[in-house]
Homo-oligomer: A and B are copies of this chain.
Amino acid sequence: MDKYISLAHGNGGRLMRELIDELFARCLASPGLDTQVDAAAVQIAAGDGELLVSTDGFTVQPLEYPGGNIGSLAVHGTVNDLAVAGAIPAVLTVNTFLEEGLEIATLERLLVSMGEAARAASVRIAAGDTKVVRRGEGSGVYFATTGLGTRDAGVDLGMQRIAIGDEVLVSGPVGDHGTAVMLARQAFGLRGELESDEACVLPLTRALLDLPGLRFMRDPTRGGLATVAHEIAMGTGHGVRLRETDVPVRDEVASVCKLLGYDPYYLACEGRVLAVVAAADAEEALARWQATPTGSGAQHIGTISDAAPRVILETMIGGERYLEELEDDPLPRIC
């Protein structure tokens, strides 16, 4: 096979067929993946439940960073969106936009990670498509993934279920992914050992699904914790009160953010869950999360209040400040 992607890898002819059969199919091998069909039959048994669909695009730079890469991220991003909606993901489709000149060895590493992430999350890659764009019209690789999953009939989640007095929980430290990607860019001459929190959140979401007091879950990706809190305030008409002392932030994330003037609450996570839970079930939810492999740092971080629909942070020194809606982009291309 060639060493670099050329436009002919996207033209529907021999080179493209070889790329699909020898690289994509091998790395993403799912039993029954047929690269010759226009549409693939998928067996999904929703039973009395619902079929859910979610889709996400991925443009992170650099393509590889400590703790993950755009290939595994493209699985986790969509799997996690299904998971926080209360679904069990089953099937994934993958769109790839390759830039002419990409090293094929790089693509292979990304696809190997993608395949591993899919197998670990028990999702089957059922269909894909690959396009090649000219040099200077992409940035290596963009992926888009679409996921299908099933949600049991008993699971009822959504902002409409959130009530005043509910507790807000987060499953671990925030801002790791955004900070790790920023450091990987070395854009500021900084380097660090921090890893992205990128992970499949299914163990976290499944742990809470049968809790009657579970109201709502979301993964704080683009825009971070503060943006999800805003969405809750706007979606419910209630206030969201967060306690700075309780929001977990790693020392390294706090240091880098302080140095560069970022607020970690607005930086992306890729393996965390924010949950709103009825006060009566909050202790139980926290205990369940803390018993999972990625939930040891879970915390109560705030409450839903009867104040106006804004996000208020109780600061460490006893004051209060509003967390405003994100206006300008602190850190583009983080996912």
Contacts and interface: CB of A to CB of B under 8 A. Distances in A.
Copies in the complex: 2
Interface string A176-206: 0000000000000000000000000000000
A169 interface: no
A158 B34 CA distance: 12
B93 A95 contact: no
B55 A127 contact: yes
Question: For the complex, would chain A's binding face be called helix, strand, loop or mixed by DSSP majority?
Answer: mixed
B57 A13 contact: no
A53 interface: yes
A131 B334 CA distance: 10
A268 B43 CA distance: 32
Given A142-B97, A235-B36, A131 B227 contact: no
Given A12-B227, A55-B146, 8 more contacts: A12-B222, A13-B327, A13-B329, A42-B50, A55-B93, A95-B95, A97-B144, A144-B144
18 contacts: A10-B329, A13-B227, A13-B325, A13-B326, A13-B328, A14-B325, A38-B218, A38-B219, A42-B51, A43-B51, A53-B91, A53-B148, A57-B97, A59-B97, A95-B146, A97-B142, A133-B139, A134-B139
